[in-house]
Structure 1
Amino acid sequence: MGFGRGLFRRRESASRDEIFGKWAVDILRAFPEVVSAEFDAAEFHVDVVYADGTPQQCGLRTPFRLAEGLDGEEAVQLLAEYLRGALAASTAMAEPVADWATMAPTLRPVLRPAGDLTLEVQGQRIGENIVWRPLLPCLTERVVIDLPTSMRTVSPEDLVEWGVDAHTVFATARTNMTDFAVETVSGFDPDEGVHFLSDDDGDLYAGSLPLVEGWLAGLGNKAGAQPLCFVPGSFGVLAGVASSPERVCELVAVAREMFDNAVRPVSPVPYTVDGQGRLVPFTVPLGHPAWAAIRSAEAALAAPVYAAQYPSLQADVDSGRRTEYVAELLHVRAPNGIEDTVAAWTDTVPTLLPRAHVVSMVDLATASLFPVPWEVLDREVGLRSVPGLFPPRFLVEHHPDQATLARLRAAGRWGTG
C-alpha cells in the first residue's frame, strides 16, 4: 500500500501534500519546545517558532520522498523521526560553539550542489551564512561539524569564534578523513570493476573521500589504470577505473541510476585526477561510447543547479538590484538523441548567461536562430564571468561583428560542443 493511501481515500478533497503537511504540523506541535507550527503549502514546509522566539523552516520534500511506498502508520513514524532530527539539529546549531582545539577533530568535508547558495532562509542567503568554496562545475565543498546526533555546516561566525581562517578549516576537515581514505584504498579490489562504498546513515562521510588528497590517485595506482569516481548521492561513493570504454560506460550507467534514485542527489558526472593530483571532471572525445551518457550526466547536474539559482537572481532584477536579463538554462534532447544544456543570447540585451553546452544566438538581420558550442563562443569572444556568482554566469550584450558571427555559424552544430 502506498503511504497514507487509506487516509487519501477518506479525504479525497485533500491532496497528498496537504495531508502530509497536516501530519507534520500535528507532530511538531506535540514537541514541548515548539509554540507554533504552520504549514506553507506553496513552499511545502512548516514555519516553526520555538519557545524562545526562534523561527525555523522545516522542509518536507525529503521526508515526503522517503515516505513513498510506506503505509500511513509507517509514513507518520518516518516523518516524526525526520522532524525530531531536524529539531535536534536546530538545537545543536543554537548551542555555543566550543573552542578550536575541541571542534577541529569533529570537522568533515562534504560535496554539495551549488544551487542552494542564493536561496533565502528568513531573509538571508545560504551562501552568505556558511563556509564554502567552488570545487567542480556546479559543485561546492563545505565543512560540517559532526555532532553525536546531528551535523551542522560551519559558518563564518564559527571562524571568528575559533580564530582560524577558512583555509585552515578546509585543510583540517580533509585531514580528518585521511585514516579512512587509507583504509579504503587498502581494501579496494580493482578486479571487481564497479566498487560502491555504501554509507547509509552518513556517519562515514564516504562521499567526501574524493576530496582527500591521494585517495583517488591511490585507487588508480593500485589498479594500474585511470581512476574514476562518482558521488551520485549524499551517502556513499562509487569508484572504478577506466580500464576499457565498456567499463567506463558501465560505471557511468550505474552512477546515473543511483543519482536518479537518490533521496539527496549530488552528481552523476564522472571525476578523475589530473597530472597534479587534482580532482577534475572525466571527459572523453566525441565518438567514445560513453560520450553521450557523460554529456547527459553533465546536463542532469547543471540544469537543476542553475534552475535553483535563477529565482533569486530574477528577484534581484524585479527589485531593481540588477538590470540584466537572467537567462535560463534548458536541458534539451536533440532529434539525434544527444542531450544538451542550452541558453539564449539575444543581441543588444544585457544578459547573465549561464554556462551551457550550447548557446543559441539570434541574428536580428534574418530573425534566425543558430546554435554555438560554448567552447567555440568563448574562444571567439572571450567570455568573462560575473564576480560573486556560483555556478558562474557571464555578462554578454552585443553580438560580435559579422565576420565573427560567420565563423560562429560555421562552427555551430548540435551535440558537438
Structure 2
Amino acid sequence: MIRRLLLSAPLLLALTAHAEDDERWNLHGQFTVVAQRHGSFTSPYEGSNSLKASEGTKTTMDATAYIGVKLWPGGELYLNPEFDRGFGLSDTLGAAGFPSGEAYKVGHHSAYGKLQRAFLRQVFALGEAAGEAQPSAANQLAGTRPADNVTLTVGKFSVVDVFDTNAYAHDPRADFLNWAVIDAGAFDYAADSWGYSQGAAAEWNQGDWSGRLGLFALSREPNSTRLDSSFAQHQWVAEAEHRHQLGGRPGKLRVLVFSSRARMGRYDDAVAAGMPVDTGNVRRMTGKQGWSINAEQELAEHVGAFARYSRNDGRTEAFDFTDINRSLSLGLSVNGAAWAQPGHTLGVALAVNSLSAPAQRYFAAGGLGILIGDGRLNRYASEQIAEAYYAMRLAPGVTAALDLQRLQHPAYNAERGPVTVLGARLHAEF
C-alpha cells in the first residue's frame, strides 16, 4: 500500500489546483502508519483498563483527503473523509498519557471510513492592513488573507484544530506522539471517540494579539462514539494569545480556560455509593472547569522550546479526553539544518501527570476511567513520561520517524512499570 501511494504521488499532485494567487479549490492528502511495542515490565496485577504486561506490536493506519472549496469572498468549505484501521497498545488503554496520538479510542481490524471534518470558515477583514500570503495546504486555500481579521469556523472539526496549538508539539503525524505532550493533558476537550466535535469557534486576530471563543458538543456519555447534537451537554472554551519577540526570537504565549456542563459522575459520590465503584451509577448534570498555559519560543536558529501546564477541578470523571487532573510538559525541537540535514528533526520532551485527591480515592477503590483502571491503586505516584523522536525526510512529502518513550508509574500505579515503548512512523502527504 505504501509503495502504491508513493508511485501515485505525481498523479495526486497533478489533481491539486495550485493557483497560488487565489485558489478556488484544492485537494491534499496524507497517509500515516504508526507501529509501537513495549517490553515486559513489572505487573503484579492487572485490571480491565490496564496496560498489558505482555503483548505484540500494535499498528494504526489512517489516510485522509483534504478537500477545500472557495464559496464566496472570505468563505471556504472543507471536507475531510478518512479511512482508519488498527489498534493502539492494549486497545488504547493503560496510561493517562497514552503513547500514540494516532491511536483512536475506537479500533478495528479492517479499514473503515468516516467524515472526520466538515466545516465552513468565513474570514472578515479588519481595517486596511496589508494581507498575508498563505500557501496551498491541508484545509487551507492559497491566497491572501487579511493580517487583522475575525475568523468564524462552524461545523464538525476538532477543538484542538483551533485551541491549544503549538508549533513544536501538537501533531502526532509530524512531531511527538504522547497524548500528554501533543495536548494539554488536563484540558478535557469536547470530542467523540475519534477526537472530533460539532460546534463553532470565533477568532479575532489583530497585531500581536489573538482571542478565541468556542462552543462545542460533548459526547452523549463519557468517551462515546456519538455526540450530543442537542448541545444539552456542551463545553465553552476561551483562549488569549500574545505573539512576542525575546532577544529577537519569535514566541507565543496562550492562556486557555474551559467550562463543561454534562451528566458526569463525581468521584467522591461514586465511592460513597459503595461497591462496585462506578461513576456511571452517580451521574447527574454538573459542571467541570479547567485552564492551561501554553508557551512556545524559538531559542536559537533551528532550536525551539515549548511548555504547557494544565489543571482541572478534579471533582468529576474525565469526560472526553483522558484521566488527568494536572499536567506539566516541556521539551525541545531541533531542526536538522543544525547538522546539515534540514529535512530532519530531533525532539525531546518530558511530561508529569497527576490525579486529584478524589480521583485517587476512586481509582484506589477499583474504579475505571476513560483510559485507566488497574482494579486497585495501592501506591499512587505521578505518571512520568519521557519521549524522544527523530524524523527524517525520505523524499518530498515523505518522512519516517523513530520514537522512544519511557513511562514511569503508568496509570499512576507505583506497583506497575516502568514501561519502555518503541515506535516507528511513516508519513506521506501531498
TM-score by length of 2: 0.29
* RCO comparison, higher one (Cα < 8 Å, 6+): 2
User: Whose strand fraction is larger, Structure 1's or Structure 2's?
Assistant: 2
User: Whose helix fraction is larger, Structure 1's or Structure 2's?
Assistant: 1
